[in-house]
């Protein structure tokens, strides 16, 4: 194994030699608006690029996840998956045309996840250029309906219908280079909606305010005891409501996420929030609805799993400093299927979810070299005997 790790830095220059192709793929895929549930045009572009790169097999599954397969030399070794989610947070009406400069590319959705998808569809040419072949088939999958309300439906479906074993998986995210996710928290993402009828007769002349009601909900959620073990937290991520400054708010919405490394704790906290919502709804005589947007189970590779150890060594060899945090992405679905998997970031960037999100071009080549290193490591069999923790 050490030999290919030693050779990894030399791949950086090979990858750089086709930078135009990689940048073109990032730009062409990223400039197509692709909000969740509206991925069709990006799926078509994915297929077109796979076909242009002459991959051995190119198709969509029954859920419309686009897939390209580079055939391996062995007929018995299970495939290795590389995946990136196709959908983006950016709305359709935003100008999606990217600006390429000497060292950067700027445009909405580039970091999440045009880079991931652009690099994914460049892999056939990168592998060809690097003169590499693998024993395993390499399955390149763009997965749809991943983020937000998509609730990882694309990857859930893909793994549900994939009826043969999978050797290992690499999930690609645009940022940050050094990101190394190998465990996934249990998670419930929810939304609390408060609506108040303007026309309802109020006997006590008191008219509730949706924003203040949600404020009370927040206050009560903040009182929930969160243990340090199992590690648990509640994140308030989104809030909106009201009509104008001088008018009582009749509607308001709060988006939150419960995260814990214990699924049981996630459920308990969710039940507590549900009780708070029901209680305040009665007390204030308002309509309060609690909806689950998405969820995932806690799962992890242990720190000493060969995939994690190899990823660490590969990054080290490329002078990339690894940073580990939990991730609630495609990773959690692979891990819950007992498939060894990690998520890596490809380059550095700024203005992450803004319309002027910006990626740096130069670090990307190292980011891609680490993917090549991981493919080689999995192909050498590092995941074959291992068990998930």
Partner 1 sequence: MNHNWLETNTYHYSAFSDINRLVEAKNKKNLTISLCLPTLNEEKTIAKEIVIMKSELMTRYPLLDEIVVVDSGSRDKTREVAKAYGADVYKASDILPDLENYKGKGENLWKALYITKGDIIVYIDADIKNIHHRFVYALIGPLLLSDNIKYCKGFYTRPISIGKNNLQSTGGGRVTELVIRPLFSLFFPELTQIIQPLSGEYAGYRSIFENIPFPVGYGIETTMILDIYKNWGLDVIAQVDLEQRIHRNQDTKALGKMAFVILKTFFKRMEKSNLIDFKKELFNEMIQYDLVQNSYQPFYYEDKTYERPPMIEIVKYCEKYNIKR
Contact yes or no for 365/150 (Cβ under 8 A): no
- Strand (E) or helix (H) holding 290: strand 287-296
CB of 118 to partner 1, least distance (A): 12
Query: Which residues touch 386 (CB under 8 Å, ≥6 apart)?
Result: 305, 306, 307, 340
Residue 98 near partner 1 by CB under 8 A: yes
Q: Please tell me whether residue 362 adopts helix, strand or coil conformation.
A: helix
Q: 265 or 364: whose CB is closer to partner 1?
A: 364
Shortest CB 368 distance to partner 1, Å:
15
CB of 147 to partner 1, least distance (A): 21
* Cβ(140)–Cβ(47) below 8 Å: no
3: its two tokens = 């030999």
Q: How many residues bind partner 1 (CB under 8 A)?
A: 20
Answer for which of 3, 101, 247, 321 binds partner 1 (CB under 8 A) is: 101
Question: At CA 137, angle to CA 134 and CA 143, rounded to 5?
Answer: 125
- Give yes or no for a contact between 169 and 334, defined as CB atoms under 8 angstroms apart: yes
Q: How far apart are CA 232 and CA 298, in angstroms?
A: 11
Q: Which of residues 102-121 bind partner 1 (CB under 8 A)?
A: 102, 108
Write the binding mask 299 to 338 for partner 1: x where contact by CB under 8 A, - elsewhere.
Answer: ----------------------------------------
Residue with tokens 């009780």: 275
Cβ proximity of 376 and 26 under 8 Å: no
Instruction: Select 102 or 163, whichever has its Cβ closest to partner 1.
Output: 102
Q: Which of residues 8-37 bind partner 1 (CB under 8 A)?
A: 18, 20-21, 23-24, 27-28, 31
Beta carbons of 242 and 252 less than 8 angstroms apart: yes
- Which of 49, 179 has the CB closer to partner 1? 49
Tell me the per-residue interface mask from 349 to 378 with partner 1, x by CB under 8 A, - otherwise: ------x-----------------------
Which residue number, 127 or 280, has a Cβ lying nearer to partner 1?
127
From 101-109, 165-173, 241-249, 296-304, give the range in contact with partner 1 by CB under 8 A.
101-109
By beta-carbon proximity to partner 1, the closer residue of 105 and 254 is 105
d(CA 77, CA 365): 29
Site for partner 1 in 38-97 (CB under 8 A): 52, 93-95, 97
Angle at CA of residue 294, ends 292 and 295, nearest 5°: 105
**Interacting residues toward partner 1 by CB under 8 A:** 18, 20-21, 23-24, 27-28, 31, 52, 93-95, 97-102, 108, 355
């Amino acid at each position: 194994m050490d030999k290919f790790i030693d050779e990894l830095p030399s791949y950086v220059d090979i990858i750089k030699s086709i930078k135009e192709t990689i940048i073109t793929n990032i730009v062409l895929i990223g400039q197509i608006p692709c909000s969740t549930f509206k991925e069709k045009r990006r799926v078509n572009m994915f297929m077109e690029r796979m076909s242009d790169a002459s991959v051995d097999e190119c198709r969509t599954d029954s859920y419309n996840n686009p897939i390209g397969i580079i055939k391996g030399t062995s007929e018995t070794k299970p495939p290795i998956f590389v995946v990136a989610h196709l959908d983006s947070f950016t709305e359709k009406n935003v100008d999606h045309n990217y600006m390429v400069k000497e060292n950067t590319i700027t445009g909405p959705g580039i970091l999440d996840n045009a880079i991931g998808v652009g690099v994914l569809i460049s892999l056939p040419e990168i592998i060809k250029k690097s003169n590499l072949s693998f024993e395993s088939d390499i399955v390149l999958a763009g997965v749809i309906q991943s983020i937000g309300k998509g609730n990882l439906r694309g990857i859930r479906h893909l793994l549900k219908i994939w009826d043969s074993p999978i050797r290992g998986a690499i999930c690609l995210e645009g940022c940050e280079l050094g990101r190394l996710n190998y465990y996934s928290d249990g998670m419930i993402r929810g939304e609390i909606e408060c609506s108040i009828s303007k026309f309802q007769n109020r006997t006590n002349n008191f008219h509730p305010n949706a924003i203040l009601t949600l404020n009370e909900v927040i206050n009560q959620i903040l009182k929930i005891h969160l243990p340090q073990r199992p590690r648990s937290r509640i994140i308030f991520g989104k809030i909106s409501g009201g009509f104008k400054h001088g008018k009582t708010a009749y509607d308001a919405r709060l988006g939150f996420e419960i995260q814990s490394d214990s699924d049981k704790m996630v459920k308990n906290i969710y039940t507590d929030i549900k009780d708070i919502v029901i209680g305040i709804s009665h007390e204030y005589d308002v309509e309060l609805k609690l909806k689950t947007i998405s969820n995932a189970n806690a799962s992890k590779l242990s720190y000493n799993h060969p995939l994690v150890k190899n990823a660490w060594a590969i990054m080290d060899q490329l002078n990339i400093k690894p940073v580990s945090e939990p991730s609630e992405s495609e990773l959690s679905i692979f891990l819950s299927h007992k498939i060894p998997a990690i998520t890596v970031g490809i380059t550095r960037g700024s203005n992450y979810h803004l319309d002027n999100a910006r990626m740096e071009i130069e670090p990307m080549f190292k980011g891609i070299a680490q993917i090549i290193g991981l493919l080689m490591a999995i192909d050498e069999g590092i995941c074959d005997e291992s068990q998930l923790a």
